[in-house]
Amino acid sequence: MSLAGAHYAWGVRAFRSVRPLRSVAQVPNIPKAERAKLGNVAERYAFRANDYYLGLIGWQDPKDPIRQLIIPREEELADWGSLDASRESLVTVARGVQHKYPDTVLLLCNEDCGAFCRYCFRKRLFMTANDEVSPDISEGLRYIADNPAVSDVLLTGGDPLMLGTRRLVEILGALRAIPHVRIIRIGSKMPAFDPWRILRDERLQEALRKHSAPTRRIYLMAHFDHPRELTDAAIAGIDCFIRNGVSCVNQCPLIAGVNDDPEVLAELYQRLAWAGCPPYYLFQGRPTAGNRPYAVPIVRAWSIFDQAIRKGSGLARRARFVMSHESGKIEVLAVDDRRIYMRYHRARAAANRGKLLIYERNDEAYWLDQLELACGPG
Ligand code: SF4
């Protein structure tokens, strides 16, 4: 059977081409007057979508969560936050190479995505003046090869699955030629934006099978934010990764108007666990420029997370709620009437590793730097 004619068990076609849209003016469901206003927003913070993903929007509802995720809003122009809220520049060791924790290196290998999430914390990459990403990752590969402590490499960007298959296969092969690299992670929202990226690509599937070995796995760090993104095609996409030897987990931020509801988050977690892609991290949204309309204060975010994980089975409860702060990945453990309790899950400075942090409760705070320490680190 030809690839174009192949079907998955529940009727998902193995091949469908997805049409990209790069201008708000191309979205027919947005009224003309509104398109001009939103076009101004998109001039500052880039817009990109595709016909499949736009088809998930319930256009009759102006607050539709998929719409909030992808369609610009004028409130993005509010003066708020900074473009590099986690100060990734501090851990950038070469162009497109970040090294924050001893065992893990990030390779920013691409500055494009299947669509642009409005709340993206790396939206600076999509702005014209940015040159943080290098299409040539040879310097990153040399850096990793020279650092035997590096066992994990995260391919990110942008979205690595937007690279051409030949390039991706080369990168996977080059990383596998470095003996101390055990885990290769692919951070991607393509299973949500364009599941056919993996479903139709037999060469990529073959490379995943080859390079995801029993003792040296490839992980898909999937990015689903809302249960409506888990269409039959998206689930077939996850299944395709799993069948080709890839382990799958999901990580996403808590986003106002998208998933800031315990019922929605619980449903997302449960369905992800059913699909073999259980939740890993829930991120507190970073105070990134342009992201004001998508921000949720820490205390409210914790409460939503806490209610959501009480609803699911054990695998759906595996998520940790964390803040990717410049000093490390800080897990929010609990909140009571007076205090917020956190712990360094990963820390940049060795002295902070595992350290408990207790802050005065502040229901208005969006980020660690707005909190007042009650005690520790001492
Ligand atoms: S897919 Fe990831 S990198 Fe791309 S816009 Fe969304 S959050 Fe940002």
Mean of pLDDT over the chain: 94
Question: Cβ atoms within 10 A of the Cβ of 249, count?
Answer: 18
Domain 88-375 has CATH 3.20.20.70: yes
158 torsion bin: left (phi>0), alpha (psi -120 to 50), beta (else): left
CA distance 173 to 159: 18
| Domain residue spans of the chain | 3-77, 88-375
pTM of the model: 0.95
The number of the ligand 1 atom at minimal distance from the alpha carbon of 115 is 5
What is the reported pLDDT for 5? 57
DSSP state of 352: G
Of 47, 106, 120, the residue with max ligand 1 atoms within 8 A of its CB, to mutate for a pocket test, comes to 120
**Rounded to the nearest whole angstrom, what is the distance from the C-alpha of residue 124 to the centroid of ligand 1?**
11
What is the reported pLDDT for 128? 79
Instruction: Using DSSP, state whether 8 is helix, strand or coil.
Output: coil
The DSSP secondary structure of 250-310, one letter per residue, reads EEEE--TTTT-SHHHHHHHHHHHHHTT--EEEEEPPP-BTT-GGG---HHHHHHHHHHHHH
**Rounded to the nearest whole angstrom, what is the distance from the C-alpha of residue 289 to the centroid of ligand 1?**
15
What residues contact residue 169 under an 8 Å CB cut-off, 6+ apart? Answer: 203, 204, 207
29 with 59: CB under 8 angstroms? Answer: yes
Pocket, ligand 1, Cβ cutoff 6 A: 113, 116-117, 120, 122, 158-159, 189, 223
Tokens representing 284 are 């507190």
CA distance 213 to 190: 23
Name the stretches of the chain with pLDDT < 70. Answer: 1-10, 375-378
What is the reported pLDDT for 4? 53
